[in-house]
């Protein structure tokens, strides 16, 4: 389950998502952290994904970040 903003108006929806998630993974144990959102983005989504392209390319050793980006666009629509 990805990060979900929670507030008094959205808490019921968040509880439903937690129940669904736990129902799909009944044998696993999980930790739940609630962190105050200060409203600032640490790294834009665009910068984050390009960082990952570079890391994947470095791991793969035979591809450039652009190769990885193009593969992800074709395969996943990212």
Domain boundaries, the chain: 45-76
d(CA 15, CA 47): 31
Check: CB of residue 1 under 8 Å from CB of residue 18.
yes
pLDDT (tens place) for every residue of the chain, 78 residues total: 677 778 888 889 889 988 988 899 888 888 888 888 777 766 777 888 999 999 999 999 999 999 999 999 999 986
pLDDT for 42: 67
Q: Which two tokens stand for residue 11?
A: 């808490």
- The residue written with tokens 């929806």 in the block is 13
């Amino acid at each position: 389950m990805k990060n979900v903003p929670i507030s008094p108006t959205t808490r019921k929806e968040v509880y439903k998502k937690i129940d669904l998630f736990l129902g799909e993974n009944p044998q696993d144990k999980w930790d739940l952290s609630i962190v105050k959102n200060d409203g600032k983005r640490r790294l834009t989504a665009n910068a984050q994904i390009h960082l990952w392209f570079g890391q994947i390319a470095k791991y793969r050793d035979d591809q450039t970040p652009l190769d990885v980006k193009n593969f992800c666009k074709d395969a996943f629509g990212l």
